[in-house]
Structure 1
Amino acid sequence: MEGSCWPLHPFVRLLHHTQRYRRQVGLASLYSILNKIFDLAPPVLIGIAVDLVVQRQDSLFSRWGLVSFEHQLLALALISFIIWSLESLFEYAYARAWRNLAQQIQHDLRLETYAHVQEMDMAFFEAHSSGLLLAILNDDINQLERFLDGGANEILQVTTTVIAIGGIFVVLAPTVAFWGMLPMPFILWGSLVFQRRLAPRYADVREKAGRLNERLANNITGIQTIKSFTAERYELERLRIDSDAYRQSNRRAIRLSAAYIPLIRFVILFGFTGTLVLGGFAAFNGHLDVGAYSTMVYLIQRLLWPLTRLGETLDQYQRAMASTQRVLNLLETPIAIRTGDRPLDPSRVKGEVAFRDVSFAYAGRSAVLKHINLTIPAGQTVAIVGSTGSGKSTLVKLLLRFYEVQQGCVCIDGIDIREYRLQDLRAAIGWVSQDVFLFHGTVFENIAYGTFDATLTEVIQAAKMAEAHEFIEQLPQGYDTVVGERGQKLSGGQRQRLAIARAILKDPPILVLDEATSAVDNETEAAIQRSLAHITEHRTTIAIAHRLSTIRHANCIYVMEQGNIVEQGTHEALLAQEGLYYSLWQLQTGQLID
């Protein structure tokens, strides 16, 4: 993702991506331009006021038919009131429009990017840390919002100022206008040079920010391990190194961006001095009205001094473009697993599962599964056992399409699962993983997760079937007890039983138990086994287990080793073969004889 090579500049890509906001952008831009036009009017009014006092009968208002000084002054006051009112009105309008637009784009872009991330396969998450993804979804999108909130308006208003004041100068005194506007090309050229040099520095800042976020997220998640190994100092030092790298990266960017304003001020000085001196001589010699000279002196400041803020705006712009690059790179990362278009109604699924000549390897590793052929009849319970790394869990991950098969196919009821709508496919499968994940919420919310319209009665019934109701009732608030992040307030066995209850409530035609009793004690295991005997009736069940006692009553047991199915049969038949299963059984029951 980070190393992708994209042909378009981030700003152009952002424009393409925000086409639906054209009307809001247009209105916000119009408000900014009108505000700046009315903001530039007071210096012109000052020049008119000077002429009004100095020339009187030859003033601008006298040429419009207002002869008396009083009428001219009142007209000037009325125009001033209108202009100030409109300037204030459009300032409110553009501030509201840009801020709302920034919030809307931020909101939509975050949701769109997160929705896209959810569609990625598990290999993507293995290649990108959660800290990096959080930095993009949060910090980078916020950086873009900050630029839209103020930087876009600043660029528009500076552009409007240059065009409006340049036009006024050319009309009033072309020669003076030339010297007054002379610094402009140098300022723009200097701005572009700074922009090009700042771009890679801010890209590096965003990369370092991602690494820092990654470190923090990883350490907070693993705080229990850090404490158990008394590694607080070690982790603090590693965080210090990452934080210092981020600080140094920012320092390099600041060193360059901070030089912009002082250098630009010297260039501005020449334009201001030229207008002051040349305009003064022209007014003294009668070639320029005193009011016009006053207007030009005021306007040259309004033109040139705000350009010093261009450095800050460019600073925001470069930060925003570095962030935009990362956000859009993530958003444009291709989705590896595409949904099919065939609907799958869970209530009509028979539940036959077949793996046909399936081979699979994780990225950069040798094959985990090698030409697997396995058929699970509808409604039966099969078990898959084997040593760690033999490929057991990979089989069910392919069934859920967490990964895509690289050879062969996986079928449900004779149809390749790639043809089914992905959401329908996963809705038909209940999965209890060995690595139970509970969300920060109540017991009720965690059991009802995925079956969001479940009633309390249904949740309690599922908890009873999972042998979880009794311990839930003993919690401080029962089903309203908050379990903490990742369920840290519960024991491993309690978390496991909530996960089983969650799958039971889903009532899927296919149930996958991936080490579902790995974290429970013997007494709880026996209780869960009793409930599973009822749960698995009339339902296709795939049970993956290390503890062979939990699957001895399966209709068929498949033994895997190094990505191959090496044995299959009932518990009794496999013991009679005295093969790998027989050895595992004796080892676990303590009957192995040297």
Structure 2
Amino acid sequence: MSSGNFHGPYLRLQDFVAYSDRYILLTSTTHSVQALARLLRYAKGYRRRILAATACSIINKLFDIAPEILIGVAIDVVVNKEDSFVARLNFTTPEEQILVLAILTFFIWVGESLFEYLYKILWRNLAQRLQADLRQDTYEHVQQLDMSFFESKSSGHLVAIMNDDVNQLERFLDGGANALIQVGVAVIAVGAVFFILSPLIALLAFTPVPLIIWGAFFFQRKAGPLYNDVREKVGDLASRLGNNLSGIATIKSFTAEAREAERLKAVSETYVEANRRAIRVSSAFIPVIRMAILVGFLATFTIGGMMALQGSLNVGAYGVLVFLTQRLLWPLTGLAEVIDLFERAMASTRRILDLLEVTVEVQDVSNRSLATPVRGEVHFQGVSFRYASSGAGVENINLSVPGGSTLALVGATGSGKSTLIKLLLRFYDPHEGQVCIDGQPVREISLYSLRQAIGLVSQEVYLFEGSIRNNIAYGRPDADEESIIKAAITAEAWNFIHALPQGLDTPVGERGVRLSGGQRQRLSLARALIKNPPILVLDEATSAVDNETEAAIQRSLQRIGHDRTVIMIAHRLSTIVYADRIVVIHQGRVIEHGTHAELLEANGRYAAQWRVQTGLAKAEDTLLG
């Protein structure tokens, strides 16, 4: 048997681990380079700024190296005087040579300071501009994505991409890009000087470089998973804090303050321990690399000194080599941090650009508007649709809603009622059949024109942080105060608004937290009404309100329903008794339709549910749900 790396066809475990580490490192680097190429394609409008910033970084680094070279030249002047290198430039006296070097040093320092200012301005402004554009482009793209995308992605995930990942890229461009460029320039420029002055010492000085680079990747590979664990633990800690603060009322009501404090302490200690493990590894890097630098410095210091004593190396050149050794090697100690920053930024870039490349399925392919005036006639013609995730949906729905009439949709949860509304608004497109408004297929109408014609009031009311005025006017930003008040009156909201100390200027708080559920629902209705839409859709708009609020909303609907088409989804059958037509949907199909009286007479599912809600039967006797 061979004593090498392989025993027959079998790979030793330690060899497998070593090869796996190299493969992971190579794969990670390849992915990062690909991400960088994608970022440069995205940032093609910034190429001049990128080139300018890169040029300033390079020039600044060259100026930064120059003083060490001048020190060596100055030593040469002091030692060799009229025979120095500077004397060959027609500056004969040592005094003239020192004066020339002083002037040159002054301009080099000025140049270094100037280009440091320029590269910082350019890189930082580029970082700010690019991160702002990336966030804006990503947000605008996400707004165009289909509802199915949002149903499969958490809002936290999307916020992390548009905020944390964009900021990660900004941090790299703000400092990491310049550091990476300058490390490369330092190695090339100093290496060139070394090989010009003494190839032997250059070879000795560069001996630690592979070790330093290997160490940078080694420590990054070891520290990377540890810092990933730290990020997970800090996420757990943030989640625990957020949940506890959101549920503070529950904590207080169960007198669970001490218990929750202990739970938070446990999560916090886990975070501290994860940080301790990562710090232990990352803190070892600089001391280890410092010893590698020492090897290169001692080689230059000792061998170069011997050569200078023997006369085979100019004393000034020896001074240059000694000073430049640290200038060559020391920046490499920051390579691990820069590489880590680069890898994180490129990982973030992949997530950002992947999100930007998500395909929009429901395309806004038409510039056509609805013919005016919009009558509000709605037709579902042989419409079928199934959700890919659950298989639920609707099957062969044929419905006609005359303009100005009120249609009510009832049925068990998941029967397909809300799906019809989503198809009407083109949140999805049907797999078969088509939806028409006034005889025009909605696919042939611009999304703007379609959705401007529909006012939606949903069960889950979302109010934006700001004033009541701003939330009502969200439906028509250019609305004047008279229109806002009129919409509030129609929605039965003006009485409570007028009673508030600040009236329309009352802040609603985040998600409308300062208002009651009924107040939020009435504002939502006012927001829809101020659009004056020919079609009004109410998706369980009264399911979570008290009887008084329900009665108020019903009065509103009876007033506004005469001039527009109203499509209602309701579980409370008392809210739809006046509807012109009631349609019962079960498992995605229409099983009953008619007026309230006709459906009671038919004695089907609708009648059974009516008896339950009016106390004439037990809930388990109904099949509507």
Kept in 2, the 8 Å contact 1:203–1:319? The answer is no
Query: Greater CA deviation, 155-164 or 232-241?
Result: 232-241
Query: Greater CA deviation, 77-86 or 48-57?
Result: 48-57
Number of the residue aligned with 1:371: 396
1:347-401 deviation per Cα after TM superposition (whole angstroms, max 9, x unaligned): 4433222222323333432423232221212222111122333222222122222
User: Residues 336, 232 of structure 1: CA spacing in aligned structure 2 closer, same or farther, 3 A cutoff?
Assistant: farther
Among 289, 298, 307, the residue aligned to 1:282: 307
User: Residues 474, 151 of structure 1: CA spacing in aligned structure 2 closer, same or farther, 3 A cutoff?
Assistant: same
1:320 positional shift = 2.1
Kept in 2, the 8 Å contact 1:511–1:540? The answer is yes
Query: Greater CA deviation, 102-111 or 86-95?
Result: 102-111
Q: Is 1:112 aligned to residue 137 of structure 2?
A: yes
AA aligned to 1:104 is R
1:178-220 deviation per Cα after TM superposition (whole angstroms, max 9, x unaligned): 1112222333344345555666666666666666666666665
User: Residues 163, 346 of structure 1: CA spacing in aligned structure 2 closer, same or farther, 3 A cutoff?
Assistant: farther
Q: Is 1:293 aligned to residue 322 of structure 2?
A: no
Q: Is 1:20 aligned to residue 27 of structure 2?
A: no
Kept in 2, the 8 Å contact 1:393–1:544? The answer is yes
Among 484, 494, 499, the residue aligned to 1:469: 494
Number of the residue aligned with 1:544: 569
Rounded Cα–Cα distance in structure 2 between residues aligned with 1:47 and 1:135: 52
Rounded Cα–Cα distance in structure 2 between residues aligned with 1:502 and 1:116: 25
AA aligned to 1:183 is P
Alignment of 1:173-192 (within 5 A): 173-192=198-217
Number of the residue aligned with 1:558: 583
1:38-95 deviation per Cα after TM superposition (whole angstroms, max 9, x unaligned): 1111111111211222111112332111223332222121111111101001111111
Number of the residue aligned with 1:574: 599
User: Residues 252, 271 of structure 1: CA spacing in aligned structure 2 closer, same or farther, 3 A cutoff?
Assistant: same
Q: Is 1:452 aligned to residue 477 of structure 2?
A: yes
Query: CA RMSD of the aligned region, Å?
Result: 2.8
AA aligned to 1:71 is E
With normalisation by structure 1, the TM-score equals 0.91
Among 420, 423, 436, the residue aligned to 2:445: 420
Query: Greater CA deviation, 164-173 or 226-235?
Result: 226-235
1:224 positional shift = 5.4
Alignment of 1:148-163 (within 5 A): 148-163=173-188
Query: Greater CA deviation, 185-194 or 93-102?
Result: 185-194
Q: Is 1:268 aligned to residue 280 of structure 2?
A: no
1:37 positional shift = 0.5
User: Residues 101, 477 of structure 1: CA spacing in aligned structure 2 closer, same or farther, 3 A cutoff?
Assistant: same
User: Residues 190, 437 of structure 1: CA spacing in aligned structure 2 closer, same or farther, 3 A cutoff?
Assistant: same
Rounded Cα–Cα distance in structure 1 between residues aligned with 2:360 and 2:259: 38
AA aligned to 1:451 is R
Rounded Cα–Cα distance in structure 1 between residues aligned with 2:450 and 2:252: 41
Among 489, 495, 506, the residue aligned to 1:481: 506
Structure 2 residue matching 1:55: 3-state secondary structure: helix
1:171 positional shift = 1.3
User: Residues 105, 71 of structure 1: CA spacing in aligned structure 2 closer, same or farther, 3 A cutoff?
Assistant: same
Rounded Cα–Cα distance in structure 1 between residues aligned with 2:445 and 2:236: 38
Kept in 1, the 8 Å contact 2:220–2:336? The answer is no
Among 79, 83, 92, the residue aligned to 1:67: 92
User: Residues 34, 330 of structure 1: CA spacing in aligned structure 2 closer, same or farther, 3 A cutoff?
Assistant: same
Rounded Cα–Cα distance in structure 2 between residues aligned with 1:478 and 1:433: 24
User: Residues 540, 243 of structure 1: CA spacing in aligned structure 2 closer, same or farther, 3 A cutoff?
Assistant: farther
Kept in 2, the 8 Å contact 1:143–1:320? The answer is yes
Rounded Cα–Cα distance in structure 1 between residues aligned with 2:350 and 2:237: 19
Number of the residue aligned with 2:21: none
Kept in 2, the 8 Å contact 1:463–1:501? The answer is yes
1:514 positional shift = 1.2
1:506-532 deviation per Cα after TM superposition (whole angstroms, max 9, x unaligned): 111211011222333333333332322
1:259-309 deviation per Cα after TM superposition (whole angstroms, max 9, x unaligned): 433332232222111111111011111111111111110011111112111
Kept in 1, the 8 Å contact 2:32–2:346? The answer is no
Among 482, 507, 529, the residue aligned to 2:532: 507
Kept in 2, the 8 Å contact 1:346–1:509? The answer is no
Kept in 2, the 8 Å contact 1:98–1:148? The answer is yes
Number of the residue aligned with 1:137: 162
Structure 2 residue matching 1:356: 3-state secondary structure: strand
User: Residues 538, 450 of structure 1: CA spacing in aligned structure 2 closer, same or farther, 3 A cutoff?
Assistant: closer
Structure 2 residue matching 1:518: 3-state secondary structure: coil
Kept in 2, the 8 Å contact 1:410–1:416? The answer is yes
Number of the residue aligned with 1:360: 385
1:560 positional shift = 1.8
1:162 positional shift = 0.8
Q: Is 1:388 aligned to residue 413 of structure 2?
A: yes
Q: Is 1:529 aligned to residue 554 of structure 2?
A: yes
AA aligned to 1:283 is A
AA aligned to 1:298 is F
User: Residues 484, 559 of structure 1: CA spacing in aligned structure 2 closer, same or farther, 3 A cutoff?
Assistant: same
AA aligned to 1:166 is G
Number of the residue aligned with 1:314: 339
1:556 positional shift = 0.9
AA aligned to 1:509 is P
Kept in 1, the 8 Å contact 2:223–2:278? The answer is yes
AA aligned to 1:405 is P
Rounded Cα–Cα distance in structure 1 between residues aligned with 2:427 and 2:133: 26
Kept in 2, the 8 Å contact 1:135–1:209? The answer is no
Among 68, 91, 94, the residue aligned to 1:43: 68
Rounded Cα–Cα distance in structure 1 between residues aligned with 2:202 and 2:194: 5
Kept in 1, the 8 Å contact 2:416–2:587? The answer is yes
User: Residues 461, 366 of structure 1: CA spacing in aligned structure 2 closer, same or farther, 3 A cutoff?
Assistant: same
Number of the residue aligned with 1:167: 192
Number of the residue aligned with 1:397: 422
AA aligned to 1:446 is N
Among 331, 337, 343, the residue aligned to 2:368: 343
1:311-355 deviation per Cα after TM superposition (whole angstroms, max 9, x unaligned): 221222233233333333333333333222242248443322222
Kept in 1, the 8 Å contact 2:472–2:527? The answer is yes
1:551 positional shift = 1.7
Rounded Cα–Cα distance in structure 2 between residues aligned with 1:417 and 1:248: 57
1:391-419 deviation per Cα after TM superposition (whole angstroms, max 9, x unaligned): 22222122222334333332223333233
AA aligned to 1:330 is L
Among 86, 89, 114, the residue aligned to 1:89: 114
Kept in 2, the 8 Å contact 1:432–1:512? The answer is yes
What stretches of structure 2 of length at least 5 have no aligned partner? 1-29
AA aligned to 2:550 is E
Number of the residue aligned with 1:493: 518
Structure 2 residue matching 1:44: 3-state secondary structure: helix
Q: Is 1:303 aligned to residue 332 of structure 2?
A: no
Number of the residue aligned with 1:583: 608
Alignment of 1:3-18 (within 5 A): 9-18=34-43
1:481-525 deviation per Cα after TM superposition (whole angstroms, max 9, x unaligned): 001111111111111110000000011121101122233333333
1:139-188 deviation per Cα after TM superposition (whole angstroms, max 9, x unaligned): 22212211111111111111111111111111111211111122223333
Rounded Cα–Cα distance in structure 2 between residues aligned with 1:250 and 1:116: 37
The alignment-based identity, stated in percent, is: 56
Rounded Cα–Cα distance in structure 2 between residues aligned with 1:223 and 1:458: 39
Structure 1 residue matching 2:530: 3-state secondary structure: helix
Query: Greater CA deviation, 489-498 or 208-217?
Result: 208-217
Rounded Cα–Cα distance in structure 1 between residues aligned with 2:363 and 2:261: 42
